[in-house]
A and B are shown apart, each in its own frame.
Chain A
Amino acid sequence: MVDLKALTDSVGELDEERVLNVLEDFVASSPSEEEAQKVVAACQSGMAIVGDLYEKGEYFVGDLIFAGELLTNAINTLKPVLGSSSSQKAGKIIIGTVAGDLHDIGKNIFKSMSEAAGFEVIDLGIDQPASAFVEKVKQVKPDIVGMSGVLTLALEAMKETVDALKEAGLRDSIKVIIGGNPVTKEACEQIGADAFTTNAAEGVKIIQGWVK
Chain B
Amino acid sequence: MSDAKALQQERTEIFQDVYDNKIPKRVPINIAMGLEPTAQFGGIDMTSAQWKPSMVAEAADKLCQTVFSDVCVFSGSLRLPSFYQSVDSQSFVMGSNGFIQHPEVIGMDPEDYDYLIEKPYDCLLERVIPRQYKALDINDPIRMAINLTKSFTAYNNDMMELGMIRNKLVEKYGYYPGGPITAGGFTEAAFDFLADQLRSFRGVSMDVRRMRDKVKAACEALYPIVFKKGLPSSVSNYTHVFFPLHMPTFMREKDFAELWWPTFKRHLEEYASLGVHSRIFCEDNWDRYVDYLYELPTDTYLYFEYGTPKLIKEKLGKKFILSGFYPVGLLKTGTKQQVIDKAKEIIDIMAPGGKYIFTWDKNPLTINDINIDNLVALTDFVRDYAVYQNPGQKAGMEFNTEDYKIAPSKKLESKYFTTWDQFKSSHPEVSDLGEPKLQGLEERVFQFLMYLLL
Contacts and interface: CB of A to CB of B under 8 A. Distances in A.
- Do A and B originate from a single complex? yes
Interface of A: 14, 16, 57-63, 65-66, 69, 99-105, 108, 126-127, 129, 151-153, 155-157, 181-182, 184, 186-187, 189-190
21 contacts: A60-B251, A60-B252, A66-B208, A69-B206, A99-B96, A99-B97, A101-B95, A103-B103, A105-B104, A105-B201, A108-B202, A127-B96, A129-B96, A151-B101, A153-B368, A157-B97, A181-B284, A184-B333, A186-B333, A190-B332, A190-B333
Contacts of B380: none
B96 A65 contact: no
Contact of B330 (A99, A127, A186): A186
Contacts, number: 98
B329 interface: yes
Given A60-B249, A156-B368, A187-B333, 12 more contacts: A14-B209, A57-B288, A60-B252, A99-B95, A101-B95, A102-B101, A104-B103, A127-B95, A153-B99, A182-B329, A184-B327, A186-B333
Interface stretch (B132-140, B229-237, B359-367, B400-408): B359-367
Contacts of B284: 181
Contact of B103 (A60, A126, A181): A126
A52 B349 CA distance: 34
Contacts of B103: 102-104, 126
Given A103-B104, A186-B333, A153 B97 contact: yes
Nearest to A58: B252
A184 B250 contact: no
Nearest to B250: A61
A200 to B, nearest CB: 12
A61 B204 CA distance: 12
Interface in B242-268: 247, 249-252, 255
Interface in B319-347: 327-330, 332-334
A108 B96 CA distance: 20
Contacts of B327: 184
Contact of B332 (A66, A103, A187): A187
Contact of A60 (B250, B334, B362): B250
B366 A156 contact: yes
A101 B333 contact: no
A133 to B, nearest CB: 14
A151 B365 contact: yes
A89 to B, nearest CB: 26
A62 B250 contact: yes
A127 B327 CA distance: 25
Nearest to A186: B333
A99 to B, nearest CB: 6
A15 B96 CA distance: 40
Contacts of B251: 60, 62
B419 to A, nearest CB: 38
B295 to A, nearest CB: 21
Contacts of A189: 333
B205 A66 contact: yes
A184 B369 CA distance: 13
B49 to A, nearest CB: 16
A156 B104 CA distance: 22
B328 A152 contact: yes
A152 B101 CA distance: 12
A103 B101 contact: yes
Nearest to B209: A66
Nearest to A182: B329
B366 A186 contact: no
A192 to B, nearest CB: 13
A187 B329 contact: yes
Nearest to A150: B101
A101 B209 contact: no
Contacts of B250: 60-62
Contacts of B328: 152
Interface in B157-212: 201-202, 204-206, 208-210
Contacts of B329: 152, 155, 182, 184, 186-187
A2 B27 CA distance: 64
Nearest to A109: B202
Nearest to A188: B333
B205 to A, nearest CB: 4
Closest A-B pairs by Cβ, 6 of them: A100-B97, A186-B333, A61-B250, A62-B205, A102-B103, A152-B369
A65 B95 contact: no
Nearest to B338: A186
B322 to A, nearest CB: 21
A22 B102 CA distance: 39
Contact of A101 (B101, B204, B369): B101
B45 to A, nearest CB: 15
A127 B93 CA distance: 12
B252 A62 contact: yes
Q: Which of A16, A62, A65, A101 has the most CB of B within 10 A?
A: A62
A153 B247 CA distance: 22
Residue of A66, A102, A181 with most chain B CB atoms under a 10 A cut-off: A102
A127 B98 CA distance: 11
Nearest to A67: B205
Given A105-B202, A155-B332, A62 B104 contact: no
B334 to A, nearest CB: 7
A100 B247 contact: no
A100 B99 contact: yes
A65 B101 contact: no
B366 A16 contact: no
